């Protein structure tokens, strides 16, 4: 599919920001980006303007465009939406849940337990996303799915919930099992309540890790008094 220069630059920068390749507050220099993408500065400015409208970057006086920082309030607002929408999607998914889809979910759950036992955190994280998206795919509401996908995209910028966090992984496995059993029973309200409980706890954990990342960064800037 044909893409304009601006669309290509926008999509590339967006993917790089969401995947964490840019640090929060990192400056985007238009002239350097134009050289990198072998374009004039006009499509770069247009791409950056679109990223600004999506709150992925912000403009600071005397600095220019920088990658926006996610505050605790930003994270809280995103998870308030995620909790409600993912709970709703799970309730709707009960109607569209087939035997083959339930079998796929069971397979993902079993594989995620193996990944945890082997301390393969990256694989567990991949399976976690797969588990949730399999459920939401059955909700038969494309607008709801797209909205959840957009909110999930922003979570890529958070610190990983799973890397070395065995306590959180164990809790996630147990909660995934609860959600699965409710889907198996075709109990839509129970499935929704378990998903809400699961996402609420995940949101609190994200906030905790984000605050720790902030304090670690602050401490790294403080000179070592013992040296």
pLDDT at residue number 227: 43
10 within a domain of the structure (yes/no): yes
* Cβ neighbour number for residue 106 with a 10 Å cutoff: 13
Last residue of a domain, one of 67, 82, 102: 67
Q: Are residues 34 and 93 in the same domain?
A: no
Q: What is the pTM of this model?
A: 0.75
Find all residues with CB under 8 Å of 194, minimum gap 6, and list them: 90, 175, 178, 179, 182
Q: Are residues 15 and 115 in the same domain?
A: no
225 within a domain of the structure (yes/no): no
Q: Are residues 119 and 47 in the same domain?
A: no
Q: Which of 18, 16, 15, 64 is nearest to 41 (CA)?
A: 64
CATH number reported for the structural domain that contains residue 39 in this entry = 1.10.10.10
Cα atoms in the Cβ-side hemisphere of radius 13 Å centred on 210: 19
226 within a domain of the structure (yes/no): no
Find all residues with CB under 8 Å of 76, minimum gap 6, and list them: 203, 207
> Using the 8-state DSSP alphabet, how is residue 23 labeled?
-
143 within a domain of the structure (yes/no): yes
223 within a domain of the structure (yes/no): no
Q: Are residues 59 and 126 in the same domain?
A: no
Task: Encode pLDDT of 120-151 as tens digits.
Answer: 998 999 999 999 999 999 999 999 999 999 88
Last residue of a domain, one of 52, 67, 82: 67
147 within a domain of the structure (yes/no): yes
pLDDT at residue number 163: 75
Q: Are residues 119 and 208 in the same domain?
A: yes
Q: Are residues 48 and 134 in the same domain?
A: no
Q: Are residues 44 and 103 in the same domain?
A: no
Q: Are residues 200 and 94 in the same domain?
A: yes
The whole domain housing 31 covers 5-67
pLDDT at residue number 33: 96
192 within a domain of the structure (yes/no): yes
Q: Which of 29, 31, 40, 36 is nearest to 63 (CA)?
A: 29
227 within a domain of the structure (yes/no): no
Q: Are residues 159 and 52 in the same domain?
A: no
Q: Are residues 29 and 52 in the same domain?
A: yes
pLDDT at residue number 198: 97
Find all residues with CB under 8 Å of 84, minimum gap 6, and list them: 196
pLDDT at residue number 212: 62
Q: Are residues 136 and 56 in the same domain?
A: no
CATH number reported for the structural domain that contains residue 141 in this entry = 1.20.120.530
Q: Are residues 51 and 18 in the same domain?
A: yes
Stretches in the chain below the pLDDT threshold 70: 1, 157-161, 212-227
Alpha-helical (H) ranges within the chain are 5-18, 30-36, 41-53, 72-96, 99-117, 121-136, 142-155, 166-184, 188-221
Q: Number of structural domains, the chain?
A: 2
Last residue of a domain, one of 35, 67, 99: 67
Quick one: what percent of the chain has pLDDT higher than 90?
Answer: 67
């Amino acid at each position: 599919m044909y893409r304009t220069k601006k669309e290509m630059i926008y999509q590339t920068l967006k993917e790089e920001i969401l995947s964490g390749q840019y640090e929060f507050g990192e400056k985007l220099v238009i002239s350097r980006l134009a050289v990198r993408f072998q374009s004039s500065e006009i499509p770069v400015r247009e791409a950056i303007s679109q990223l600004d409208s999506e709150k992925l970057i912000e403009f600071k006086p005397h600095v220019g465009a920088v990658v926006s920082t996610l505050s605790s309030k930003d994270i809280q607002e995103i998870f308030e939406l995620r909790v409600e929408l993912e709970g709703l999607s799970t309730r709707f998914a009960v109607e569209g849940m087939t035997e083959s889809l339930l079998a796929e979910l069971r397979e993902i759950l079993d594989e995620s337990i193996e990944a945890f036992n082997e301390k393969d955190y990256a694989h567990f994280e991949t399976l976690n996303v797969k588990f949730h998206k399999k459920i939401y795919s059955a909700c038969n509401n494309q607008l709801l799915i797209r909205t959840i996908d957009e909110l999930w995209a922003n979570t890529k910028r958070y610190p990983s919930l799973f890397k070395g966090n065995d306590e959180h992984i164990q809790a996630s496995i147990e909660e995934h099992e609860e959600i699965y059993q409710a889907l198996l029973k075709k109990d839509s309200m129970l499935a929704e309540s378990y998903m809400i409980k699961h996402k609420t706890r995940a949101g609190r954990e994200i906030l905790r890790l984000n605050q720790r990342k902030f304090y670690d960064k602050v401490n790294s800037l403080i000179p070592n008094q013992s040296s």
